[in-house]
Amino acid sequence: MTHPPPGLCAPAEPCCIVPGRAFGIYSGGFSAVLASAHAGLCRGARVQREAYIRAQYCAPALIIALALTGCTVGPNYNREPAPTPTTFKELKGWKLADPSDNRDRGAWWRVYKDHALDTLVSQVEISNQTVAASAAAYEQAQAVIREAQAALFPTATAAYGVTRTRTGPLVGSSNSRLASATGPTYTTTYTAPISGSWDVDVWGAVRRQIESNTAAAQASAADLDNAKLSEQAMLATAYFGLRAADSLEDLLRRTVVQYQKTYDIVNNQFKAGYSVTAGDVATALANLETTQAQLASVAVQRAQYEHSIAMLIGRPPAELTIAPHLLPGGIPKIPVVVPSSLLERRPDIAAAERTMQQQNALIGVEEAAYFPAISLSSMLQFVGPIPLPFSAARAVGSIGATGTQTLFNGGLTSAQVDAARATYWESIANYRQTVLTAFQQVEDELAAIHYYTQALSKQQSAVKHEQTAVNVYLNQFQAGTVAFTTVVTAEITLLADEESELTYRQDLFLASVSLIEALGGGWDTALVPDQFELQKGFSLVPKLESATPLATELMPKIQTPSNPSSAPQPTQ
């Protein structure tokens, strides 16, 4: 039976150590030592000393062999199955992803071909504080692995002490006259003890803990990537909301110009004595002022989107100004992966799967409490009247081993094992729920894009026809063949239709961002560090020496176009 070196996780094997053999009583090596000692008694003092020396050299080797050949209790990890469909229900007319679609893995926002968006989203990984917190959590998870690895090694301590003792003249003396004449006695004793202890991982509790901590670190790495993807998607959502506000502002400005013309026509006809009432003039003016008020309220929405973007890139809102730009007319084509590969493309699913192994390994940690705890200890102390009493003649040494078995604890161990198993079952349910949620999100966004595209096409046609109706009614009103209320109704309907068309376009862009996020944004499980990579980072010195988080040190200046007050307003 082979085993990995200390610090590396390996699949557990059925426990195979007989209690007597676990302590080396029946092992071949220990029997040889006993035979050598017995030979020394028969052949003389020289042979006896040689056998004793051999035993001293063989004992550490046997202890190390015992530690490395111990069992690892607890169940081995196997990924639990999750409900996976063969195809997406809402996959109608979509292109399936091919290997060439992953050439820009991670930079998913480039499909929109928007330079300002590229500049902003690229800052999320550097200066977003939510991502920085997740990065710190990942560093902490790696440090916890090293904490568990430290338990595989013995602990050594050293000390140095000085004791000054005064002994009175009458202590231990029956002749008080002679004692009083000699006076007190002063002695100084120097001690330098060196001690060591080792809790031998015979049953694999420490190795299971390392396995659990490693899986937790992998989950933390996936959580870090998920935080990046989530914050990037939030920024893209806010960005397209800002562009929709720019387009709405442009629409309302054009509508104000049109309503101003209508008001001038109605007012001039009223002053000229045509069949136009004061109520018609008031209605035209009310429509104009209502649209102007709506235009002012759009500025509030835009400012809030801009402030949200500044927060997502780790900047105060005062440091970011984004120039206006209209929302594009359509979304890019987004390749869709097959459902089975979605499990390998989403970091939240990877984190949930790694959490299953984390909890599975903790079952073995708790089951190890059923078996005796084996510990070794040793001490070497130098004592003498000189400051450096380091010599064999002044040394006192001892070595010992202890086995501790819990005989009764009121069912505490079994309760802890049951709790660990229940926690593992909980992680299975959470993993499957995460998978189901992922499929739901993909299906939701596929359906949203499919039906929003249809709705946008119909709405654009409605806008075109309503614009024709407004032009016709306005000409007829100027000719005196229709009432002004007909023109007002048509203009209000046209503005509502144009706003609905813009809303459908905005919803399409938001659905496309959500679809990319639901598909993992080009992420892959290959980006999660493997167990060997995480466990080889064992170190005896701290690795994090900086007092300032890296994300704060590297916050760059934003290279975003400014929005001066003299900038021309966008037009369609």
**Mean pLDDT of all residues in 24-45:** 38
Residues 50 and 152 in one domain: no
Residues 450 and 377 in one domain: yes
Q: What's the pLDDT score for residue 341? A: 87
Contact 267, 281 (CB under 8 A): yes
Residues 28 and 173 in one domain: no
Mean pLDDT, rounded, of the chain: 83
Contact 477, 484 (CB under 8 A): yes
Residues 155 and 280 in one domain: yes
Q: How far apart are CA 460 and CA 472, in angstroms?
A: 19
Q: How far apart are CA 219 and CA 217, in angstroms?
A: 5
Place of tokens 């929003």: 452
**Mean pLDDT of all residues in 259-272:** 92
**Mean pLDDT of all residues in 181-202:** 90
**Residue 28 belongs to what domain range?**
19-68
Is residue 506 included in any domain, yes or no? yes
Residues 36 and 174 in one domain: no
For residue 266, give the CATH number of its domain. Answer: 1.20.1600.10
Q: How many domains does the chain have?
A: 2
Residues 377 and 505 in one domain: yes
More confident residue, 40 or 114: 114
Residues 312 and 457 in one domain: yes
Contact 109, 515 (CB under 8 A): no
User: Which amino acid would we find at residue 326?
Assistant: L
Residues 546 and 430 in one domain: yes
What's the pTM? 0.79
Work out the pLDDT band at 563, boundaries 50, 70, 90: very low
Is residue 179 included in any domain, yes or no? yes
Residues 181 and 58 in one domain: no
Q: How far apart are CA 328 and CA 269, in angstroms?
A: 40
Is residue 420 included in any domain, yes or no? yes
- Output the furthest CA–CA distance in the chain (Å, rounded): 145
Is residue 95 included in any domain, yes or no? no
- CA Rg, the chain, in Å? 40
pLDDT digits (tens, 9 = 90+) for 37-80: 343 334 444 434 443 444 444 445 445 545 444 688 999 999 99
Is residue 393 included in any domain, yes or no? yes
pLDDT digits (tens, 9 = 90+) for 347-392: 999 999 999 999 999 999 999 999 999 999 999 999 999 999 999 9
Residues 180 and 34 in one domain: no
Is residue 416 included in any domain, yes or no? yes
Q: How far apart are the first and last CA of the chain?
A: 76
Is residue 79 included in any domain, yes or no? no
pLDDT digits (tens, 9 = 90+) for 396-430: 999 999 999 999 999 999 999 999 999 999 999 99
Of 440, 401, 431, the residue nearest 63 (C-alpha) = 401
> Residue 562, SS3?
coil
Is residue 12 included in any domain, yes or no? no
Residues 166 and 63 in one domain: no
β-bridge mates for residue 197, sequence order: 155, 377
**DSSP symbols for 345-386:** T-HHHHHHHHHHHHHHHHHHHHHGGGS-EEEEEEEEEEEESS
Residues 409 and 309 in one domain: yes
